[in-house]
């Protein structure tokens, strides 16, 4: 059995993650379950226009086919630093970009201001994960005498870098998971 590439309409095997003709990423089971498509870039692969923008324009075909099992949900095993990227509706992203960026300061703000926005919920989840990690890490590091002070400084810089990554991705209309923590879902 085979399917067609969403980008070039070339026929490809059902289990293909990328089109052999144009190299476009093929949708995963997560796209059917969550209503958005997860994009993962192979090392050295050029990004397509859809991957660069971080969302699907409404004039593009909706993604319906899946290539992986429901249990794996498109996650590449063994690389916790790989940033998965999701594709949302163009109007949702453009309308809720700024309010979603504020999720990295006040995680619940997009849930109140735009409760039906999947883009907002995604970034609210990322903001909540960042908050939990920052508070939890600081509590643990404060319990360590002497060296905890130095480790806390390094940890705070790491948290600030994650904050900036999330903020910049959101303002650019991208929905990328934060490294190490982004794959977890608290807010669906």
Task: Give the list of residues 6+ apart from residue 88 with CB closer than 8 angstroms, or none.
Answer: 36, 54, 55, 56, 118, 119, 122, 175
Confidence check: pLDDT of 147 > 50? yes
Confidence check: pLDDT of 18 > 70? yes
Mean pLDDT value across residues 129-135: 95
Nearest-5° Cα angle at 61, 58 to 62:
80
Whole-angstrom distance, CA of residue 40 vs CA of residue 14: 17
Percent of the chain with pLDDT over 70: 70
Backbone angles phi, psi at 16, to 5 degrees: -70, 135
Confidence check: pLDDT of 66 > 70? no
Confidence check: pLDDT of 44 > 90? no
Q: Report the predicted TM-score, pTM, of the whole model to 2 decimal places.
A: 0.59
Average model confidence (pLDDT) for the chain? Answer: 75
Confidence check: pLDDT of 138 > 90? yes
pLDDT value at position 99?
92
């Amino acid at each position: 059995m085979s399917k067609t590439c969403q980008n070039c309409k070339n026929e490809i095997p059902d289990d293909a993650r990328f089109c052999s003709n144009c190299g476009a990423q093929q949708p995963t089971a997560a796209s059917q379950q969550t209503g958005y498509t997860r994009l993962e870039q192979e090392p050295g692969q050029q990004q397509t226009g859809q991957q660069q923008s971080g969302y699907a324009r409404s004039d593009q075909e909706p993604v319906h086919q899946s290539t992986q099992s429901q249990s794996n949900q498109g996650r590449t095993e063994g690389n916790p630093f790989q940033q998965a990227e999701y594709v949302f509706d163009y109007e949702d992203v453009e309308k809720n970009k700024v309010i979603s960026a504020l999720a990295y300061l006040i995680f619940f703000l997009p849930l109140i201001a735009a409760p039906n926005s999947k883009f907002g919920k995604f970034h609210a989840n990322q903001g909540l994960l960042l908050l939990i990690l920052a508070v939890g890490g600081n509590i643990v590091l404060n319990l360590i005498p002497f060296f905890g002070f130095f480790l806390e400084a390094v940890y705070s810089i790491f948290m600030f870098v994650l904050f900036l990554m999330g903020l910049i991705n959101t303002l650019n209309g991208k929905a990328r998971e934060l490294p190490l923590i982004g794959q977890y879902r608290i807010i669906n």
